[in-house]
Amino acid sequence: MKKEPGPIGIFDSGYGGLTILHGIRQLLPEYDYLYLGDNARTPYGPRSFDVVYEFTRQAVQRLFEMGCHLVILGCNTASAKALRSIQQIDLPQWDPDRRVLGVIRPTAEVIGSLTKTRHVGVLATEGTIKSESYTLEIQKLFPDIQVSGVACPFWVPLVEYNEADSPGADYFVKKRIDEIMRKDPEIDALILGCTHYPLLMPKILKYLPVGVRVIPQGEYVAESLKRYFEQHPQIEKRCSRGAHVHYLTTENPQKFKESAKLFLHEDVEVENITLG
- Residues with a catalytic annotation lie at 75, 194
Burial of residue 274 (number of CB atoms within 10 Å: 0-12, 13-18, 19+): exposed
Q: How many CA atoms lie within 13 A of 255 on its CB side?
A: 14
CA–CA dist 73, 65 (Å, integer): 16
Distances (CA, A) of 274 to 3, 59, 162, 201, 252: 23, 10, 25, 33, 11
Q: Let me know if 87 is exposed, middle or buried by CB neighbors in 10 A (0-12, 13-18, 19+).
A: middle
CA distance 29 to 128: 29
Burial of 56 from C-beta contacts in 10 A (0-12 / 13-18 / 19+): buried
Whether the bond between 43 and the residue before it is cis, its omega within 30 degrees of 0, is yes
Coil, strand, or helix at residue 225?
Answer: helix
Q: What are phi and psi of 113, to 5 degrees?
A: -90, 0
Tell me the three state secondary structure of residue 154: coil
